[in-house]
Amino acid sequence: MTSVGAPVVAITGAAGFIGRNLCGHLRRRGWLVRAFVRNPSSYPFTESGIQVHACDLPGTLDEDALGSAQAVVHCAYVTRHMDLEQARRVNDAGTRRVVEAARRGGLARLVFLSSQSAHAEALSYYGRSKFALEALFSGERDTVVRPGLVLGPGDAGLFARMCETVRRSKIIPLFGGGRQPLQTVHVDDLCAAITSILERGLPGLFTVAEPTPVGMRAFLELVAGRMGSRPLMVPLPMAPALFTLRSLEALRIPLPVSSENLLGLKQMRAVDTRRDLAALGISARTARESIEAIFRA
């Protein structure tokens, strides 16, 4: 497929870990990709021919380029922040602006990158915010994707930060004993899922992650073993750790883990993803398979 007559997709947050991979994946599939990034003077993509547009939500957005696309994948979201009010402004007001601009254009189907942690009982801002924002999207026309922990090569994203922690740390705290059920998805499998949604016009809600969870401790041991690292893993009770982190955050002390992270850990739960994966026509690698593929690359 060539660019002439090719379907057009706009991707917000295109310079992020998932956004970059999705831009490349769709470009290789023949899509004309419009990448919306904070710094349009840079080109963080390996594939050529990706169009770069300005997007610094909620203030800056090239609405004409967004609204004339046939599909919009909204990946832009602030996950690391010291100022919660600023994060809300970017995430909540920014998402509303993207949705309104796409609706005004009249052409675009919307795909919202949510999270497996999004649900009505979520304790963390991240889970609550993602769940609330899902309501902006039409269940009959749009699609909400809830990925598990996204794994992939590179130095960006939560998995990269986890690897860096395992590499540098002699001691790794296991909050709540590390018994949380973790479901992961390789970034290539997530991109395949989003591509299936776009190319087949599938609306609705899909959770995209490996069907069988792995315990958090077992996952960290997998990563450490593949990296040749042997940190001491120390179980810690959740409640005192959460109190300590909140106290340090009140002093604005930067930390490698946040109270938000712990709230997310506290509510991790397994979801049966087999039906959603079958509907999308894809499979999701296990955490072990993903980690082996990443460290072989």
Could you tell me if residue 110 is inside a domain? yes
Q: How open is the CA angle 33-132-90, to the nearest 5 degrees?
A: 55
**Domain encompassing residue 66:** 8-148+185-209+270-285
Tell me, yes or no, whether 257 lies in a domain.
no
Structural domain includes residue 165: no
Is residue 88 in a domain? yes
Q: Give CA–CA dist 232/171, Å, rounded.
A: 5
**How far apart, in whole angstroms, are the C-alpha atoms of residue 194 and residue 109?**
12
- Count of structural domains within the chain: 1
Residues 172, 165: Cα–Cα separation, whole Å: 8
Residue 201 lies in a domain: yes
Query: Is residue 140 in a domain?
Result: yes
Q: Which residue in this structure is represented by tokens 């904070």?
A: 38
Over residues 8-64, the pLDDT tens digits come to: 999 999 999 999 999 999 999 999 999 999 999 889 898 999 999 999 999 999 999
pLDDT one-digit tens code per residue, 66-105: 988 999 999 999 876 556 788 888 899 999 999 999 998 8
Q: What is the pLDDT of residues 265-276, one digit of tens each?
A: 888 889 999 999
* DSSP code, position 281: T
In this predicted model, what pLDDT tens digit does every residue of 140-170 receive, in sequence order?
A: 899 999 999 999 998 778 888 889 888 988 9
**Closest by CA position to 272, among listed 212, 203, 185:** 212
Q: Give the model's pLDDT for residue 2.
A: 46
**Position 169 in a domain:** no
As a whole number of angstroms, the distance between CA 23 and CA 27 comes to: 6
In the chain, DSSP assigns E strands to: 8-12, 32-37, 51-56, 60-61, 71-74, 109-113, 143-147, 149-151, 171-175, 181-182, 184-186, 204-208, 214-215, 232-236
Q: Residue 193's domain is classified under what CATH number?
A: 3.40.50.720
pTM for this entry = 0.91
Report how far Cα 199 is from the mean position of its chain's Cα atoms.
20
The reply to whether 225 falls in a domain is: no
**How is residue 70 written in tokens?**
């046939």
